[in-house]
Amino acid sequence: MKRLMPALCGLSLAMATLTGPAFAQEDAAKKTQTAKTFWGVSAEKLEYRYSDADEELAVIEGDAFYGTDELKFRWLFEGEWEEAHNAWETLENQFVAQVPVDDFWDAKAGIRVDTPEGKDRVYGVLGLTGLAPYWFEIDTNLYVSDEGDASVDFEAEYELLITNFWIVSATFESLVAFSEDREIGVGKGLNSTEVGLRLSYDLFDRAFSPYIGAAHERTFSDTADLARDSGGSTEDWFAVVGARVMF
Amino acid sequence: MKKTILIAMLAGFASLAANAGEYDISVDRVQIDTGDFVKEGIGYNGASPGPILRFKEGEEVTINVTNNLDEMTSIHWHGLILPYQQDGVPGISFPGIKPGETFTYNFPIVQAGTYWFHSHSGFQEPNGAYGAIVIEPEGREPFRYDREYVVQLTDKHPHSGDRIMRNLKMSADYYNRQQQTVGDFIEESGDKGFMATLMDRMMWGDMRMMKADIEDVQGFTALINGKGPEQNWTGLFEKGDRVRLRFINSSAMTYFDVRIPGLEMTVVQADGNNVQPVNVDEFRIGVAETYDVIVRIRDEQAYTIFAESMGRSGFARGTLAPAEGMVADVPEMRDAPLLTMADMAGHRDHGGMDHGSMDHGSMDHGSMDQGDMAGMDHGDMNRDDMAGMDHSGMNHGGDSALPEDPFYAKGSGLIPTASNGGKFLSYADLKAQKPLYEDREPTREIEMRLTGNMERYEWSINGVKYEDADPVVLQYGERVRFKFVNETMMTHPMHLHGMWSILDVGADKWNPIKHVISVAPATTVYMETEVDAPGEWAFHCHLSYHAASGMFRKIVVEGDPDSTVADGKQGGQQGGES
């Protein structure tokens, strides 16, 4: 973490200079005639999962932002509540600053705080998010934990319009760690993948879109061993039901 | 000599004194009932749309505007030539009108025709703050009519303007429900073959652009004079009448294709200025434009005024009838158009489709200056690039020869055609009835590239958003030639406040005089402006959410009639039709 702070400070400085010229002008109409700051709250996933091993989970992936075209502050939340243990299996809070680096891509930097059942971790985050050619939404991040372990996650999503209201979204997520962090069940190498397919219907604008679908989670190599050792499963199929919300 | 001037001046004062009108307008929270939904909005004198203000050319008007809202407001007199302090743009003309305050506008009416007024504060205009202005000319009009109606169009949305802006920023396709689907893919595969369809989708996907990106904000109910299609605004006539219809597009975002099945329309005025009459079956009205048409009705039957949105996501409907309650058939909307590669000139350097560098200079059809319409070939430069790569996009209509209009890129998907196969009005048909200014060479040219990033919903001029831009400085007495190069795939209605926009249709001194110039995707359009109004003015895309996203500039006119900087001071400072 200590090593990361200077880098983050540098980045925020760079961002401050980037947005600087915008405040230099004194034309009063720039305020009255321009919509400058925006906010939004959404949850890409807000769902109940039922596994082939009779596990029950509640999963939330939330996102709240405030900012301008040039600089946004984002709070990203990810949680998995496990019914059987009455506990948060996953509980991540990311606080990042986001700046555009290209027509279609944004860079992110900030911190991630994990406080699930079990050991806590704090990470520095550097990420890239945006739209790749052929409409793939991509989000990828490099994490460096307070234990000095580095990992990279990668998420891709593709939306297929059955109609303009019925939408199938295919998602792929993976996590690769560069070193082992046994305490939190992370092995070196490819940790896990998750593939999902969800059919949603835009019920109220794009504000509330209920969906049903399926997800498949799998852990690999060392991570799978760690999971087996702690009595967990290494491969799960889930039926999911939930809603995408955006305000 | 001196005596006559004095007498003329005295006479002028006398007529002013005798001809001074005072008007009161209150800005109020109102309920807007579209027939589809009821929404709280903003209106004038307790209603949206507000009243029709009827002025007379030569009148000195005093307008007391009382703000009954709990936020700042303003009224901009769209298209009126007036002192800049009266123009109503907060931060440029004046500070705005505080809650509870009354602001008094005072200016002479120096023109005639159809105009409108609206708030220039926040998204009050899309929320309902608009009304019509009709100015009766001093002299006789060059056409006859027995009765007249204002036909004011708008695109009332169930969401507030702030919400729409925020949603667009979160997801630029939030309101686009015309995107191509799996069903479209299958259908098109049947017509054109699977591979061709796949290649087409890959090509657009590679650019991360959508063919269906024509209307950013769908889901509105289109209104005529505040009435939805079901509420059916009706204008009465008597058999044999010539009826003048003053069409005003007060939409936040929507262009309309307007027709009255069974009636030919004679266009006599555009943006308040008389044009040489053109008979048309249909016309497209850009956001903030006005067109006056005259219809001669020989039969005792009802006629539908049908205004489909350009992207066919909604329509406005009204009726002309000999008696209240009579209706005519309401046509089905035609299929939604799709953009083609020809509309994408500005985007071809993105997304790895590198077919050599895009030279915007080469889009400059110099022949336009000579008035050679055949030479105005905006899209031509794309042809080589496109050969062999665009298998289906070009000709989505299919069969017949492509329609042409010099104000659209060649092969554009947006080129309009009349539903009855007849005449569709083009900008190229507009010729001034009486030139307002002496024709002269422009003193300089200013290029304005219309730019943006659809995915981020950022809009700009020359790649710079208003918040980061310096004002455009003009000198009093210049004649500036503006070159608009649309590098986006959206159509932008560009509006210059305070001074006329002389649209170059290649007709030299007969070029029409407008206040909004619509620039279609991948085209270059020229307009000239006689810089005859000192002060500070706004210039912007009149699509509300484009303007607020940065497609906006402050224009500063330095100098004044007493200290003319450039040559060629004009007699036509008064503006308006003579």
How far, in Å, are A10, A11, A124, A127, A147 from residue A5 at the CA level? 8, 10, 8, 15, 14
Query: Does the distance separating the beta carbons of A162 and B182 come in below 8 Å?
Result: yes
**Cβ pair A145, A123 in contact under 8 A:** yes
Split at pLDDT 50, 70, 90, the class of A233 is: confident
What is d(CA B363, CA A230) in angstroms, rounded to the nearest whole number?
A: 68
Bond before B49 cis per omega within 30 degrees: yes
Asked if the Cβ–Cβ distance from B538 to A33 is below 8 Å, we say yes
Half-sphere exposure in the Cβ direction for A111 (13 Å, CA): 13
Tell me if residue B18 falls in helix, strand or coil.
helix
Nearest to A32 among B91, B159, B166 (CB): B91
- pLDDT recorded at residue A4: 45
Q: Do B548 and A42 touch (CB under 8 A)?
A: no
Closest CA relative to residue B490, chosen from B178, B210, B221, B200: B210
Work out the average pLDDT over A99-109.
Answer: 97
Nearest Cα neighbor of B561 from B83, B8, B77 is B83
Provide the token pair at B214.
């024509």
With contact defined as beta carbons under 8 Å apart, do B376 and B365 qualify?
yes
What's the mean pLDDT when you consider all of chain A? 90
Report the residue of chain B nearest A67, measured CA to CA.
B169
Do A99 and A18 form a contact (C-beta atoms < 8 A)?
Answer: yes
Residue listed under structure tokens 């063919």 = B211
Residue A163: CA atoms inside 13 Å, Cβ hemisphere, count? 5
Output the 3-class SS for B120-171: CCCCCCCCCCEEEEEEECCCCCCCCCCEEEEEEEEEECCCCHHHHHHHHHHC
* Residue ranges of chain B with per-residue pLDDT less than 50: 1-18, 349-400, 565-578
Query: Would you put residue B197 in left (φ > 0), alpha (ψ -120 to 50) or beta?
Result: alpha
Q: In sequence order, what are the residues at sequence separation of 6 or more whose Cβ sits closer than 8 angstroms to the Cβ of residue B567? A: B443, B477
B221-321 CATH pick, 2.130.10.10, 3.60.20.10, 3.40.1080.10, 2.60.40.420? 2.60.40.420
Cα dihedral sign, A168-B339-B519-B130: negative
pLDDT score at B404 = 86
CATH code reported for the domain at B18-140: 2.60.40.420
Note whether B170 contacts A164, CB cutoff 8 Å.
no
B111 with B73: CB under 8 angstroms?
Answer: no
Above 50 in pLDDT, residue A176? yes
Q: Please write the tens of the pLDDT for every residue from B514-526.
A: 999 999 999 999 9
Cross-strand pairs, B114 = B134
Selecting from B166, B465, B466 the residue whose C-beta is nearest the C-beta of A40 gives B166
Q: Inter-chain contact B471–A160, Cβ cutoff 8 Å?
A: no
Distance (Å, whole) CA B92 – CA B84: 9
Residue type, A124: G
Count other Cβ atoms within 10 Å, centred on residue A111.
Answer: 18
Q: Does A17 touch chain B (CB under 8 A)?
A: no
CA angle in degrees (0–180, nearest 5) for B375-B379-B381? 90
Beta strands B458-461 and B444-453 are antiparallel
* Residue A1 confidence (pLDDT) above 60: no
How many CB pairs below 8 Å do chains A and B form together?
Answer: 114
d(CA B342, CA B498): 34
Q: What angle do CA B455, B288, B360 make, to 5 degrees?
A: 50
Considering only CB atoms, A31 lies closest to which of B91, B159, B162, namely B91
8 Å CB contact between A197 and A213? yes
Query: Are B166 and A135 in contact (CB < 8 Å)?
Result: no
d(CA B342, CA B385): 10
B66 and B102 Cβ atoms separated by less than 8 Å: yes
At residue B346, the pLDDT reads 65
For residues B77-105, one letter each, b for 16 or more C-beta atoms within 10 angstroms of the residue's C-beta and e for the rest, the string is bbbbbbebebbbbbbbbbebbeeeeebeb
A175, A177, A182, A183: CA torsion to nearest 10: -60
CATH homologous superfamily of domain A4-13+98-246? monomeric porin ompg (2.40.160.40)
Q: Rounded to a whole number, what is the distance in Å from the CA of B452 to chain A's nearest CA?
A: 10
Do the Cβ atoms of B166 and A38 come within 8 Å? yes
3-state secondary structure of B483: strand
Q: Residues A186-204: pLDDT tens digits?
A: 999 999 999 999 999 999 9
Closest residue on chain B to A106 (Cα): B456
Selected residue of A32, A102, A167, A246 to mutate for chain B interface (largest B Cβ count, 10 A): A32
Q: What is the pLDDT of residue B212?
A: 93
| ipTM computed for the complex | 0.89
Instruction: Provide, as residue numbers in chain B, all residues whose Cβ is less than 8 Å from the Cβ of A29.
Output: 89-92, 538, 554
Measured in degrees and rounded to the nearest 5, phi and psi for residue A234 equal -110, -10
Burial of B8 (0-12, 13-18, 19+ CB in 10 A): exposed
**Residues 6 or more apart in contact with residue B414 via CB below 8 angstroms:** B214, B310, B337, B339, B343, B408, B491, B520, B521
The minimum CA-CA distance between B479 and chain A, rounded to whole Å, is: 25
Determine the Cα–Cα distance for residues A152 and A173; give it in Å rounded to an integer. 11
Q: What is the dihedral of CA B469, B472, B473, B479, to 10 degrees?
A: 170
User: Measured between CB atoms, which of A32, A36, A134 is closest to B90?
Assistant: A32
| Domain segments of chain A as ranges | 4-13+98-246
Q: Which of B90, B350, B470 sits opposite A103 (nearest CB)?
A: B350
Distance of residue A25 Cα from the nearest chain B Cα, in angstroms: 7
Query: Which residues are bridge partners to B556 per DSSP?
Result: B473, B536
> How far apart, in whole angstroms, are the C-alpha atoms of residue B576 and residue B532?
13
* B18-140 and B444-574, same CATH topology: yes
For B43, the token pair is 């209106």
With an 8 Å Cβ cutoff, are A133 and B208 in contact?
Answer: yes
Domain boundaries, chain B: 18-140, 179-213+338-413, 221-321, 444-574
Q: Which pair of tokens denotes residue B338? A: 């799709």
Residue of B nearest to A35 (CA): B548
Cα torsion for B258, B261, B266, B272, to the nearest 10°? -30
* CB-CB neighbors (< 8 A) of B206 in chain A: 133-134
Query: Shortest CB distance from A164 goes to which of B122, B179, B455?
Result: B179
Burial tier of B450 (Cβ tally within 10 Å: 0-12, 13-18, 19+): buried
Assess if CATH 2.60.260.20 describes domain B444-574: no
What is the H or E stretch that residue B8 is in?
helix B2-18
For B301, which DSSP code? Answer: S
Q: Closest Cα of chain B to A123: distance in Å? A: 27
Buried-exposed string B119-155: b where 16+ CB fall within 10 A, e elsewhere: bbbbbbbbbbbbbbbbbebbeebeeebeebbbbbbbb
Residue A127: CA atoms inside 13 Å, Cβ hemisphere, count?
A: 27
**CA A122 to CA B84: how far, in whole Å?**
58
> Is A21 near chain B, with CB under 8 Å?
yes
Give the angle subtended at the CA of B148 by the CAs of B144 and B152, to the nearest 5°: 135
d(CA B445, CA B384): 29
Cα–Cα distance list, B576 to B81, B151, B278, B438 (Å): 8, 21, 20, 14
The secondary structure element, H or E, covering residue B31 is strand B20-33
**B513 DSSP 8-state letter:** E
**Contact: B90, A38; criterion CB under 8 Å:** no
